[in-house]
Chains A and B, each alone.
Chain A
Amino acid sequence: MKMDLRDPGLQPERTTLAWRRTLISLVVVDLFIWRRWLSGLAGAHPGFDYQGLCALVAAAATVVLASVVWVRSRELHHDNRAAHNQAAHTHAAHTQAAHTPAASRRLVLSSTLAVMALGGAVIAAIASGG
């Protein structure tokens, strides 16, 4: 069937690229938070470093999302190649359907929580700054 042979590789690749674009967008927000923290260090005054805490939360969110992107890219890439090899033998590219699982809820929820934590850091960085 023609439908089954359609688009064997591009769906996983587009999905991987979408994850990486998302990580890059998150790093842009990080840079602003870290910029404020670093520029505040010059005139360091005693007391709790709120901007430092925001910078730390942003770094943690980045680590979480980067891990999710890494795991998901590996899943998609690995499954894609396995399906491809199998398809070469059996001429059945639709076996990929069985090998390309939908994202697990854990990965999607982790990335959502990472973005929410980053949102909290942004709000704190704006509200505590002068």
Chain B
Amino acid sequence: MREPAWRRTGKTPDYRFSLANERTFLAWIRTSLALLAGAIAIDQLAPNIAPQPVRIILCVVLSFIGAGLAVLSYRRWGLMEAAMRNNQALPFSRVLLFMTIVVAVAAIGFAVLILLAR
């Protein structure tokens, strides 16, 4: 697998920035893994939280968001490094807002389910 064209453009950024970008990628990957872990944990450890079809749909949706977030974190890593190589402003991203909404909605949704399941 060859390095893509953008990795030969511009100049190599300071290694500290490259490593920080790498750690940011890993932080997003861990967020993605946390969503996957949450989905499968709810499915297995809280079988009575909702009727079975509802529970499965909710957990599958959470897992899809988790898997999609892995793709986004790879894309973001590439965009960030391309911007640093060409000395441009770092790209703005709606992922932060999107994830805030996802986590808030999931938390409120499961809180309601826990209350109703009693």
A residues near B, CB below 8 A?
A: 7, 11-12, 14-15, 18-19, 21-22, 25-26, 28-29, 32-33, 35-36, 96-97, 100-106, 108-109, 111-112, 115-116, 118-120, 122-123, 125-127, 129-130
On whether the beta carbons of B59 and A25 are closer than 8 Å, the reply is no
On whether the beta carbons of A123 and B63 are closer than 8 Å, the reply is yes
Checking B1, B25, B29, B64 against A123 with a beta-carbon cut-off of 8 angstroms, the contacting residue is: B64
User: Taking chain A's interface residues, is the majority helix, strand, or loop, or is none over half, making it mixed?
Assistant: helix
Digitize B26-37: 1 where CB-to-A-CB distance is under 8 Å, 0 elsewhere.
110110111011
Nearest 8 pairs of A and B residues by beta carbon:
A119-B67, A102-B18, A112-B74, A115-B70, A25-B33, A32-B40, A100-B15, A18-B26
On whether the beta carbons of B15 and A26 are closer than 8 Å, the reply is no
B26 to chain A, nearest CB (A): 4
Residues of chain B with a CB closer than 8 A to A122's CB: 36, 39-40, 63, 66-67
A77 and B20 CA atoms in complex are apart in Å by 16
On whether the beta carbons of A102 and B12 are closer than 8 Å, the reply is yes
On whether the beta carbons of A105 and B43 are closer than 8 Å, the reply is no
Given contacts A18-B23, A21-B26, A108-B25, contact A119 B66 (CB under 8 A): yes
On whether the beta carbons of B33 and A96 are closer than 8 Å, the reply is no
B9 to chain A, nearest CB (A): 14
A91 to chain B, nearest CB (A): 18
A15 to chain B, nearest CB (A): 5
Q: Which of B62-81 contact A (CB under 8 A)?
A: 63-64, 66-67, 70-71, 73-74, 77-78, 81
